[in-house]
Structure 1
């Protein structure tokens, strides 16, 4: 059946806090956001700018923890400006048959205007009993995230 590329992490509607053309490539992202969805430093991401439609790929570097930083660097800084809303996707290559048999999980953060977590979604592909397809499930886990951050 082959290999397919599935989203494993998404930062939805994060706001650009700075655009730094003088830095050599990448996008700087608050490590809290990276950790919650499972994006690693140096991981390639695809980015969509909701304000102007620009799409680009780059790699991630962690910024300062808790600052809500979203800063396209280098050439990517020419495609964004502070205040723009972005969607940032990370993918992984998966064996199609294994996904059909075992499923797949993606983590999604929906950000507020300060790049804090407004909602946290778990999106899953769940194998069907017939073993030939999967069902898509989308569950908000924001209450779980809020509870764990208070303890």
Structure 2
């Protein structure tokens, strides 16, 4: 996958487009498609992330955003898919936490997550209450993974949009 760690990315007059895929051979944890931590991304245009989590047991997210600010003048589009063959818990399509910021143009921005397989809590989107966003609640579209497993939700977390 792609890791963006303690980085600043600025596209003053353009777009930022990142695609990442976790390994299909991994057997353990944290095999994300895209992992952004402690970073800031700004675009005069759009920001687009497409992440596909790899195989493994737990926390193999399509996209994980941790302590990161994404600021787009245009559309902010995040599409994360956790692998259906994951076997544990918390294999979320998109996992957003730790005071992250998501800002994009209204009406055209969307966050879409598809949870993976496993034993439970494989949410489409998981977002904590300390996330700041200009997007509205309908801009977050999640689909839970592992049909029939306990506690897997389309959208989960402590953020007010999901309560």
TM-score range, shorter chain: under 0.3
Q: Which has the higher contact order (CA 8 A, sep 6+)?
A: 1
Larger relative strand fraction: 1
Give the TM-score normalised by structure 1: 0.27
Give the TM-score normalised by structure 2: 0.26
Larger relative helix fraction: 1
